[in-house]
Amino acid sequence: MSNTIGNNLLHQSFLSLKALEHQSRNYSSTCIGGNTFLKSQANSPAHKSSISTEFLGNRLTLQKNKLLMGKQRAVSRSTKALLAADTSSTVTEKFNLDKNIELQVDVEFPTSGSASVVDIQVTSSSDSLLLHWGAIKGQKNKWILPRTHPVGTMVYKNKALRTPFVKSGSNSALRIEIDDPAIQALEFLIFDEAQNKWYKYNGGNFYVELPKTESTAPSISVPEDLVQIQAYLRWERKGKQIYTPEQEKEEYEAARMELLEEIARGTSIEDLWKKITSKNDTNENKEELVSGTKSDIPEDLVQIQAYIRWERAGKPNYSPEQQLKEFEEARKELLVELEKGASLDEIRRKITKGEIKSKVSKQLAKKSYFTVERIQRKKRDVMSLLTKFASVSIEEKISSEPEVLSAIQQFAKAKEDLIDGPIMNKQIYKLADKELLVLVAMHSGKTQVYLATNLPEPVILHWALSKRPGEWAAPPAIVLPPGSVSLDNAAETELATSSFDNQHKVQSLEITIEDDSFVGMPFVLLSGGNWVKNRGSDFYVELKIGSPQVQKDAGDGKGTSKSLLDKIAGLESEAQKSFMHRFNIAADLMEQATNAGELGLAAILVWMRYMASRQLIWNKNYNVKPREISKAQDRLTDLLQNVYRSFPQYREILRMIMSTVGRGGEGDVGQRIRDEILVIQRNNDCKGGMMEEWHQKLHNNTSPDDVVICQALIEYIKNDFDVSVYWKTLNDNGITKERLLSYDRAIHSEPNFRHDQKDGLLRDLGNYMRTLKAVHSGADLESSIGNCMGYRAEGEGFMVGVKINPVSGLPSGFPEVLQFVLEHIEDKNVEPLLEGLVEAREELRPLLSQPNDRLKDLIFLDIALDSAVRTAIERGYEELSNATPEKIMYFISLVVENLALSVDNNGDLIYCLKGWNVALNMLKCRDDQWALFAKSVLDRTRLSLASKAESYHKLLQPSAEYLGARLGVDQWAVNIFTEEIIRAGSAASLSSLLNRLDPVLRQTANLGSWQVISPVEAVGYVVVVDQLLSVQNKSFSKPTILVAKSVKGEEEIPDGAVAVLTPDMPDVLSHVSVRARNSKVCFATCFDSCILENIQTYEGKLLHLKPASADVVYSEMKDDAVVTSSDSKEVSSAPSVTLVRKKFAGRYAISSEEFTSEMVGAKSRNIAHLKGKVPSWVNIPTSVALPFGVFEAVLSDNLNKAVAKKLKILKSKLDGGNFSALGEIRNTVLELSAPPQLVKELKEKMQSSSMPWPGDEGAQRWEQAWMAIKKVWASKWNERAYFSTRKVKLDHDYLCMAVLVQEIINADYAFVIHTTNPSSGDSSEIYAEVVKGLGETLVGAYPGRALSFICKKSDLNSPHVLGYPSKPVGLFIRRSIIFRSDSNGEDLEGYAGAGLYDSVPMDEEEQVVLDYSSDPLVVDGNFRRSILSSIARAGSAIEELYGSAQDIEGVVKDGKIYVVQTRPQM
């Protein structure tokens, strides 16, 4: 039973606390057990569980068989054991289950008021027996689950109970007490969990018929209030259990039966009152209830009043005690009305309005008290949500061909070349396939207006001048060009035809204006007998130079559709006249934007967002009718709809544009804005003051501000005409007093209404809000649903004659889901609403990719549903404040599902969703690993959100910065542009939910607030940086504690750093982690943002860090303490390391038998040493090598003279401190050609070692291999390696690079082992990390964590998982060759160079988004134990072979272990 009154607040219900079990998710779900991975498909119509929850087998009809003992029973059900109880005190029956296993069932006849008792005993040595059971009521075969059951009972798939037997000697027994008189029988089977064996009766269920008592209830009714109290007492007596609506009803009827039995024994109603209300006399609610029942107010009126109170309170969650109190408060309110002299009939007429009465009647019929109804989610395959498009580089496609200028553009260019002053205004208007130029400039100190058009018919200019924006005033005679005709308020001048380049003919006119008082020029054209206007309105050109638009350097526009943004910036002065102008210009630019791809659409989005956030002028000196705005809006959204239909890869960004623009007009809704404000004024006698000023503003230029103004008026009226509420609503939505005054038709006054106007104004403004939202709000749910479901409005002055037909092809049941959403949209208990919103989006999703002439309405509905999810989550934070982890996780799963419905390339989110479903089932199955697994899913979800934010930033921020600079947008608005985009979506809500759950999971999984990767005590000055990468090559003069917000895993530890603290989660065995331990630098991840923020407050101060296993204690120190603390660090910061230059031994390739220290590095020698010495189940790949000196020999070959010369010059640049030469050197190395002798020797060695030769597959394959070899050599000059050698003063020229060649294994998993735990230094346990696919995701800069575990060397068969994997991607590859770096600078005394240089596969790896919900390493306990134990045993064997701690890399393929390299653990 739910904790809410819901739409069912009609009878008191006392039976619920926080529910642990949530409604079953309808995706295929999984459950991680200790050793098994079970798929729960009980709800699936397509996949029935192999074990029915009723276990009825094949249905047979048994009518004459006497089953066991007692009365004959004619039944139509499957074969089953039937134990029918007679009226004796106890009935006993025995069954032989299997050989020496015997079952005995005893049924005790209940005494008056007591429960039926069933004792079940099994003679068996097994201690893992479970009773799988349920109860039968009425004629239904379906099991119901009694709420009273033995200790230890678990609910199985919400359809059966499982109770463990209690072992006693050689017997196992349990007792079941049934106190529900409506239960007629029990059915059960016995399950031996250890043997996975079922005990049935002839393939069917055991059936125990419970004894019945004679009905003693006389034909007398019990007062409902008394039944309610008795039900409450039963609920308290049973421990305030969680009841479903069906169980609530059963409890209610059981309470009634108990009271009827008491009456049958002769107890009077009055005595019953005294008896049951004397219990717990301190319960104030019950006392109030008793006193209240003495009134004569009918119960149905109390129920309706309670319902009204609950709705008025926002449908909150009520505890059972609060529910009782609410009924009594409702009763008191009605008593007050009676005391005032009102009759019951008057009260009934007042409160039982049609809508309320129908809702209450509906709930009475349901008998579902205090329970918010829920929709039934359909079962769907979660992978059906997948949308994936090929990734394309974000770069503007710039044509190399010069732009072809039209005749009018050429005319404009020619004029601009002659003008000696500034250009003040320039517009080129589209007139069908022709154009009109209006150019305003200062020439020879005078304002000059140039007009030109290529219309074929003669053109007359009908024009005027304005001293106030928008007015028509006759131009002075001195301004009129020759041949002009003066009219009352205008003039007419014919344009002259001219040819400006002997090819193109245009009609043009020049007007000189010397009077500075004129600010603008309105005009229309007359051509061929037709008036030519600007989309139905007058043309208007400004004559003054406004504030300069380019306020700062706009940059080069890299990463943007620069040409489109430049065009938008050039048209902004026209666009700012009105929304009509802006939307029409945007529509004109849609073709260019679509052709420019994602960057072009990003340009439109940025422009529209700057408009929506009021960074651009909405209306300037232009009067436009609302219907014209609505029409322009409609035109733009139609074009957006068409692009959405034709280019599915752009749907995500198109949704964002449409949500910003709004829907546009339907059924001439735009004109209604103008008309209906008059209806409000007329109906409510409010024609002056603020309402008249708003009326004038609406007539001049309506905007989204009007939605806010209307809402502010409604809130002001609702709050008893409190004008402070009016201003608060405006200010909360970005509208200040200054903004109201800035409108062309300013709003100066505050609202001032009479109290007698309240009801009429609330009614009419509510109706008007619908009209406003229909035009301006793309995310308004009610209007979006109305547009899709259809409506027709008549009368009352609002939306008169507006008829919207339903969208065709809507799925069956969809209208009911939408109706459910609307009914519950304001509920405080938001969980059922969230389910409804997400279900509606799931139903809608297929329609969005199908042809439909009303696609736009469906898109806007989807946008509105998505927006409602975010709003509901924000409203539900209070509900989650004391929620169980399961409830928060369920909320998260709903929001992840919703987000997956909103974004493209959503594979990672879908696998996160599957992970949350697994975590929820683990929790329900009471798996002790649930929190640890859920933490990994949480981490992955955060990474997914971060990746999406990064993609938005890459796509949108460059355009926001470029256009923002061109248009003079406030810098703060530019800086937070992408951040605000993200905040506006459900991703921000999801992030907040993750933050709520994270500390709960960490506490449950005993993870603490820290993961200490390198446990070194440190003292240093705190420095905060965004990225460790940005300071890795810096040297700090003082001992420094770095707080780095981002650590990827491949960085170096900077000189002078004594500690690195980060919220990021690099693997414990990543490069930076190894570097930290080797350099004796404290390195730790902090999971608690509050702790990290507190440490950041010490920036510039001296701090002492003392790490423990899962904690870091820190304290501030005095400056003089640093000298002694840093001495040891200073001494050891630059170890003395020397290299011996290796020489070419005359061989280009050698086999593993020839590996020596003069020929190859430690990596090659170690792998050769393992062959034949490790256990046979540890596989070692075959290897050959290109020894030391081969690179130098190839470089000195005559084939590569030019390359050698170029490298010499670049090395000189590098020696001179020009570090940009590093990249040039690497690229130059790739130009080397292979000497024929190298090719010959390498081929012979590989073939003699039974390795595949790439050249056998064609010359191109050899070229791929040769390029990989050169990339390994070139990595000698990568930045990380170069600066690392400089730090230890290692002579870079002496560094030589051999290349180890191995056949690559397309791994299922890759691992790295440290045979001494690196975090604790414990040599008795092995630490290892495992990733899916190739090991590059483990040792490289790939986000997320690997699966990590430890294993005691004394018990290698019992690995202990420390963390589940959160890496979103894995790398996989075809059968291939890998070329591994093997330098003489690795694994030196005092310097670990491992990992600095590249290993390069011949073929490119495929990056695959990972699904851990089906990965046996994660979900199959036996498989996981087997693999991890094998990895640990391999590590132990290799450590034993070398006699020292080892750092080992390897892979798992088809369950087999392969070790690819080992080195001493540093």
Q: What 8-state DSSP symbol labels residue 923?
A: H
Residue in 1007, 831, 836, 1009 with CA at minimum distance from that of residue 934: 1007
Give φ, ψ of 40 to 5 degrees: -90, 110
Maximum separation of any 2 CA atoms in the chain, in Å:
124
Q: Residue 542 and residue 441: Cα distance in Å, rounded?
A: 11
Q: Which two tokens stand for residue 1281?
A: 């390696």
Strand 1018-1027, strand 1035-1046: pairing:
parallel
Give φ, ψ of 480 to 5 degrees: -65, 130
Q: Residue 459 and residue 453: Cα distance in Å, rounded?
A: 9
The answer for residues whose C-beta is within 8 angstroms of residue 1449's C-beta and 6 or more apart is 1310, 1311, 1312, 1313, 1335, 1339, 1459, 1460, 1461, 1462
The length of the chain in residues reads 1466
Residue in 1358, 1333, 1359 with CA at minimum distance from that of residue 1346: 1333
- Residue in the block written with tokens 């039934």: 376
The answer for residues whose C-beta is within 8 angstroms of residue 1382's C-beta and 6 or more apart is 1160, 1161, 1162, 1163, 1164, 1185, 1297, 1298, 1299, 1300
Q: Please name the amino acid found at residue 1445.
A: A
Q: Residue 34 and residue 1101: Cα distance in Å, rounded?
A: 49
Q: Give the dihedral sign, CA 671/677/682/684.
A: positive
| Cα radius of gyration rounded to whole Å, the chain | 40
- HSE-CB at 60 with a 13 A cutoff on CA atoms is 13
Known catalytic residue: 1071?
yes
Q: What 8-state DSSP symbol labels residue 340?
A: T
Neighbouring-strand partners of residue 496: 508
Q: Please name the amino acid found at residue 208.
A: V
- The string of DSSP codes covering 422-434 is -EEEEEEEEETTE
Tell me the H-state helices in 719-812: 723-732, 737-742, 758-776, 781-789
Residue in 713, 678, 707, 672 with CA at minimum distance from that of residue 692: 678
Q: Residue 730 and residue 1437: Cα distance in Å, rounded?
A: 73
Residue in 206, 151, 199 with CA at minimum distance from that of residue 176: 151
Q: What angle do CA 482, 487, 493 make, to 5 degrees?
A: 30
3-state DSSP assignment of residue 1069:
coil
Give the rounded distance of the alpha carbon of 442 from its chain centre.
54
Q: Please name the amino acid found at residue 1131.
A: V
Q: Which two tokens stand for residue 1154?
A: 């020839």
- Which candidate in 11, 581, 776, 1071 is catalytic? 1071
Q: Are 270 and 279 in contact (CB under 8 A)?
A: no
The answer for residues whose C-beta is within 8 angstroms of residue 727's C-beta and 6 or more apart is 712, 737
Which secondary structure element, helix H or strand E, spans residue 1406, and what is its range? strand 1406-1409
Write the CA distances from 454 to 137, 505, 539, integer angstroms.
87, 7, 17
Burial (CB < 10 A; 0-12, 13-18, 19+), residue 341, is exposed
Give φ, ψ of 428 to 5 degrees: -120, 115
Q: Are 511 and 449 in contact (CB under 8 A)?
A: yes
Q: Enumerate the active-site residues.
A: 1071
